[in-house]
Structure 1
Amino acid sequence: MAMNGLIIFITWTDPRLNSPMYFFLGHLSFLDVCFITTTIPQMLIHLVAKNHIVSFVSCSTQMYLVFSMGVAECILLAFMAYDRYVAICHPLSYAQIMSRQVCVKLVSTAWFFGLINGILLDYMTFRGPFCRDNHIENFFCEAPIVIALSCGDPQFSLTTIFADAIVVLLSPMVLIVISYAHILASILGRASSSGRGKTFSTCASHLTVVIFFYTSAMFSYMNPRSTHGPDKDKPFSLLYAIIPPCATPTSIVFKTRK
């Protein structure tokens, strides 16, 4: 979290980093800080406290924030891939295509859909009745696990969340794949090995976060719930909720500034 805070401070205060890539990186770091603070503090409290009770309101609020930040990060990662595509494949038109106004609109779009989508998913999770005390087998309130504790039929809620995950996860993933396919074609077409190495190093950190975040989120929300139990879900919840926010591509900052 400290490194993300440092990135936010540097990218938002240093005029030498006034470019779309650092603009997106600063907002990604801010999203990561928000993401971590919705899960880690409560988990640490439960590790040291004897009372592990989470109120209905606290669980609902945490889930809304996790959904909102997660969806916003999915979309922002796709926009960052598009930014890299424009920078590498259309360098002469980069400043015109990725203007300040366009960058602000893209970030605003990510936040807007994240906040709206969080309302939908939170409602679908808690629409059913909960008629007894329940034990959540995870370190934070995650939708599929909470829905399974409902006294009503969870099928409609699970189906809706599955359909939403297809749109939220696969649509940005398509944009990322297309962007990097064009980037790869452009890299392979270059004769300079040094140019290839610099391009690969610039994109490697972003790709690492994308792989961790998307694969773990897809496993948690796009698989049949009968295939595994909560103990198998925990590692994947950990991957998309904690590991990617802690693995923000800090190397981009330092490699570019050399």
Structure 2
Amino acid sequence: QQMPNISSVSEFLLLPFSDTRELQLLHFALFLGIYLAALLGNGLILSAVACHHRLHTPMYFFLLNLALLDLGCISTTLPKAMANALWETRTISYQGCAAQVFFSVFLIVAEYYLLTVMAYNRYVAICKPLHYGSLLGSRACAQMAAAAWGSGFLNAVLQTANTFSLHLCHGNAVDQFFCEIPQILKLSCSDAYLREVGALVFSVSLAFGCFVFIVVSYVQIFRAVLRMPSSQGRHKAFSTCLPHLAVFFLFVSTVMFAYLKPPSISSPSLDMVMAVLYSVVPPALNPLIYSMRNQELKATLKKLILFT
């Protein structure tokens, strides 16, 4: 019997959160609240950085890019999941599934590379302050941000093309609330699965290089901070570094676990929890994390809210 090709599939079935109507509506309300919080938080950061000239610095320029990526990431998955929960549907079209895979990979990879760039920004600011202006001018910042977005785009093209050229041997039911590569791989045949795993290993190898760079950068940063004679200077340095470090480790740990965990510990409920942690939670929490210890950003946001 000839194996079915993925091109013969016109739609995919997404795993519902629950079979009961009450729990479906509860999940809809919960996701709606998270989505609105992410829109509000990231929208305020975008408005604050764009409208206030004193925030036109490299750190806030990268934060603006992070807010854009977060808005795109959460908007790729939650609206369709909320619509399915509200209208008691499970289907997503072939084109919609491909779009979710493409934009999820694009935005997640771009965010990872942007966090690497932000670590470099902190390293230069603290360890090489006299060279900050020359190393992180407006043109250099634009080029690094463009490289992060471009890397995410190229990676998404590679992964999406590989994934949607696979043969399916196990139906079209995706055990997730949105289309993601690990779940589609479970539907594929073993030989095609190995080919896609090779592409994932290539991407993970590049990501590991960025991970090492960030770890080494922060080791140098903390060594420099601990040598500062002023306690006020140490406190200010830590207040700008700790939010980025928290965001980075939350983001990396959940993405790596979701994509690289052994099949033996995989389960639908665990997969769904991990997907929520890497695709839904960071976009909602990042604005809070970055503004919590940043007095300048908090003051600007307060003025912006009072003005409106």
Q: Secondary structure at the match of 1:149?
A: coil
Q: Deviations over 1:126-151 (max 9, x none)?
A: 22123674221111111011111124
Could you tell me whether the CA contact under 8 Å between 1:220 and 1:236 is conserved in 2?
yes
Deviates more, 1:64-73 or 1:201-210: 201-210
* 1:64 correspondence with 2:102: yes
Q: Deviations over 1:187-241 (max 9, x none)?
A: 1111222221211111111111101100011111223334322322222111111
Q: TM-score, normalised by structure 2?
A: 0.79
The 5 Å alignment of 1:129-168 reads: 129-130=167-168, 133-151=171-189, 153=191, 154-167=193-206
Q: Structure 2: which 5+ residue stretches go unaligned?
A: 1-38, 300-308
Cα shift at 1:49: 1.4
2:266 equivalent in structure 1? 228
Could you tell me whether the CA contact under 8 Å between 2:169 and 2:187 is conserved in 1?
no
Q: Deviations over 1:73-111 (max 9, x none)?
A: 000000001001111111122111100000000000001
Tell me the number of residue pairs that the alignment of Structure 1 and Structure 2 aligns.
257
Measure the CA separation in 2 of the matches of 1:162 and 1:238: 23
Could you tell me whether the CA contact under 8 Å between 2:58 and 2:136 is conserved in 1?
yes
2:125 equivalent in structure 1? 87
Q: In percent, how many aligned pairs have the same letter? A: 35
2:32 equivalent in structure 1? none
Measure the CA separation in 2 of the matches of 1:54 and 1:121: 19
Deviates more, 1:17-26 or 1:1-10: 1-10
1:237 equivalent in structure 2? 275
1:178 equivalent in structure 2? 216
CA RMSD of superposed structures (Å): 1.7
Cα shift at 1:252: 6.6
Find the structure with the greater CA-based Rg.
2
* 1:109 correspondence with 2:147: yes
1:53 equivalent in structure 2? 91
2:62 equivalent in structure 1? 24
